[in-house]
Homo-oligomer: A and B are copies of this chain.
Amino acid sequence: MLFEKIKSDILAHNSYVIGAGGEMAVIDPRRDCQIYTNLAEHGDMKITKIFETHKNEDYVIGSRDLARPTRAEIFHGARENFEFGTGVREGETFSVGPLELEVLETPGHTMESISLLLRDRSVSDDPLMVFTGDALFAGDVGRTDLAGEDKRREASEMLYASLHEKLLPLPDSVIVCPAHGAGSVCGGNISDREYTTIGFEKATNKLLSLSKEEFVERKVNERLYEPPYFAMMRKLNREGPPLIYNLPHLRAYTAREIRSLLDRKAQVVDIRSPTSFAGGHIPGTLSIWRNGLPLYMGYYLNYEDPIILVDDFNLDLDHAVRHFVRLGYDNIAGYLAGGFAAWFKQGEEIERNGTWSPSDLAEHLDDPSIWVLDVRNVNHREEDGHIEGSHHIYVGELEDHLAKIPEERQIVVHCDAGFKGSLAASILEKHGFRHVTNLLGGTIGWKAANYPLVKEEEKPLSASPAL
């Protein structure tokens, strides 16, 4: 029996491959799906079945892309009106060679969410693994807020039932394979255990020991961010997204071309490091370091205007492009040929922002001319504490709360490490703030340098997700 977990890095999405007897099934495939066909070929297997555990909202599903060359059949929960594939119901079973997948309807995260219980009937009738989609994670459970505030209580109750009536009654020994790992935007607090079991989750996952009332209350009051691109994902994944086949080929833009495109709504994304952005960048561009792309592009990029990347040395751009493809940004268009140096060799204008180390900030903390802006997730601020006197707006909501920031002061932005701080600095600069400094190291560096974080919280400036 072949079993592989395919992790899409940073996005923390898991897809799974199981195979035996020359047949293979893929669960929740991603859109750049050659990895599955390669596994099939390497293992002398045919991909015959593809399962979607739910209508994913954080990436573009790859089912249709994978079905094209393989002619595999696509299955998903029957309670949603998908425009492709076949709906399945509780108790239906599907064979993959000698293996068997049984459908468990596990609504809550979405109405049509299913889990898939794996048995190898040639060995035993005992189940071996369960693919839980976004119902049960290692140390966490799925979000119940995405269908809207009005349906949140109902969704939470459904999820409680799914967990306690469908998943937890399984034998302790069943291995749990969820659709996301730690770092995903699909769960607030997913643990980084690569593998877990029903028994281990029952013993350690705090959400599972709550009473129904406690559970629902907790889920209804949970504060989670919803990147705007989720809406596009839901639409595409219901309709069946446009097919891609290979990664798109990027155009190499000259500095001159980019300057003229800036006026025509091109979305220029600077994927360099925070220090590189601080030392000089094209005015008005967005700073999202290469590893932050899957997590933050969905807050600030639209799906229409061409996206152009700026790097230092244009190394491994293919990897960056892959992130755009996974989130459906087929408007990724190209990059600045020659890197940022091509810009400054044209004698063009350059913007900068300041950088501070923790000790630089500590020295100025009482200075009334500075205004410290914390752009972390509000939960991290509350749990880990904050720098005394700092104000809070989440980086993903910064554009909605600009009026709260005093334009005449020196704005010292910080996150937990220094990368999201650079994104925030780029957004502030774009909106006319002229004196912005990014705290390199963020709260991690601040603590490492032995400065204190405090927990008495002033009221956060951004309304959501604090309810």
Q: Residues of A at under 8 Å CB distance from B?
A: 1-4, 20, 22, 34, 37, 40-41, 44, 46, 69, 120, 123-124, 126, 128-129, 139, 171-175, 191-200, 202-204, 245-246, 249, 251-252, 254, 272-281, 290-291, 312-316, 337-342, 344-350, 352, 355, 357-360, 417-419, 440-442, 444-451
Q: Contacts A46-B252, A174-B197 known; list 19 others, CB within 8 Å.
A: A1-B193, A123-B191, A124-B200, A128-B196, A197-B199, A272-B276, A272-B312, A273-B313, A273-B341, A274-B280, A275-B276, A275-B279, A280-B355, A290-B313, A344-B445, A345-B417, A347-B358, A347-B447, A347-B448
Report chain B residues within 8 Å CB of A281.
Answer: 275
A280 and B360 CA atoms in complex are apart in Å by 13
Provided the pairs A41-B252, A280-B440 are in contact, do residues A448 and B346 lie with their beta carbons within 8 angstroms? yes
Chain B residue nearest to A127 (CB atoms) is B200
Report chain B residues within 8 Å CB of A345.
Answer: 417-418, 441-442, 444-445, 448
Report chain B residues within 8 Å CB of A120.
Answer: 193
On whether the beta carbons of B314 and A312 are closer than 8 Å, the reply is: no
A272 and B315 CA atoms in complex are apart in Å by 12
On whether the beta carbons of B341 and A347 are closer than 8 Å, the reply is: no
Provided the pairs A2-B194, A3-B194, A357-B344 are in contact, do residues A312 and B445 lie with their beta carbons within 8 angstroms? no
A235 to chain B, nearest CB (A): 27
On whether the beta carbons of A418 and B124 are closer than 8 Å, the reply is: no
Nearest 8 pairs of A and B residues by beta carbon: A173-B199, A347-B449, A275-B279, A279-B279, A278-B279, A276-B276, A347-B448, A3-B194
Report chain B residues within 8 Å CB of A2.
Answer: 192, 194
Within the complex, which residue of B4, B175, B344, B445 is in contact with A197, where a contact is CB–CB below 8 Å? B175
Within the complex, which residue of B174, B275, B447 is in contact with A340, where a contact is CB–CB below 8 Å? B275
On whether the beta carbons of A347 and B357 are closer than 8 Å, the reply is: yes
Within the complex, which residue of B173, B245, B316 is in contact with A316, where a contact is CB–CB below 8 Å? B316
Provided the pairs A276-B279, A338-B44 are in contact, do residues A195 and B350 lie with their beta carbons within 8 angstroms? no
A44 to chain B, nearest CB (A): 4
Provided the pairs A194-B2, A277-B279, A345-B417 are in contact, do residues A128 and B200 lie with their beta carbons within 8 angstroms? yes
A183 and B417 CA atoms in complex are apart in Å by 40
Report chain B residues within 8 Å CB of A276.
Answer: 272-273, 275-276, 279, 312
A269 to chain B, nearest CB (A): 16
Which of A34, A315, A341, A355 has the most C-beta atoms of chain B within 10 angstroms of its own C-beta?
A341
Provided the pairs A126-B200, A279-B279, A339-B273 are in contact, do residues A249 and B37 lie with their beta carbons within 8 angstroms? yes
Within the complex, which residue of B41, B128, B357 is in contact with A193, where a contact is CB–CB below 8 Å? B128
A363 to chain B, nearest CB (A): 12
Which of A4, A173, A245 has the most C-beta atoms of chain B within 10 angstroms of its own C-beta?
A173
Report chain B residues within 8 Å CB of A200.
Answer: 124, 126, 128, 171, 173-174
On whether the beta carbons of A40 and B252 are closer than 8 Å, the reply is: yes
Within the complex, which residue of B41, B277, B313, B419 is in contact with A337, where a contact is CB–CB below 8 Å? B41
Provided the pairs A347-B449, A444-B345 are in contact, do residues A192 and B1 lie with their beta carbons within 8 angstroms? yes
A198 and B175 CA atoms in complex are apart in Å by 11
A170 to chain B, nearest CB (A): 10
A418 and B343 CA atoms in complex are apart in Å by 11
Report chain B residues within 8 Å CB of A312.
Answer: 272-273, 275-276, 312
Within the complex, which residue of B173, B249, B277, B291 is in contact with A203, where a contact is CB–CB below 8 Å? B173
On whether the beta carbons of B355 and A355 are closer than 8 Å, the reply is: no
Within the complex, which residue of B1, B128, B277, B441 is in contact with A347, where a contact is CB–CB below 8 Å? B441
On whether the beta carbons of B346 and A355 are closer than 8 Å, the reply is: no
Chain B residue nearest to A199 (CB atoms) is B173
Complex A-B: 12 CB contacts under 8 Å? A44-B337, A44-B338, A195-B195, A272-B273, A273-B340, A275-B281, A275-B340, A279-B279, A279-B355, A280-B440, A344-B445, A345-B445
Report chain B residues within 8 Å CB of A126.
Answer: 200, 203-204
A441 and B198 CA atoms in complex are apart in Å by 43
A275 and B41 CA atoms in complex are apart in Å by 22
Report chain B residues within 8 Å CB of A280.
Answer: 274-275, 278-279, 355, 357, 440
Which of A3, A123, A245 has the most C-beta atoms of chain B within 10 angstroms of its own C-beta?
A123
Report chain B residues within 8 Å CB of A417.
Answer: 341, 344-345
Chain B residue nearest to A204 (CB atoms) is B124
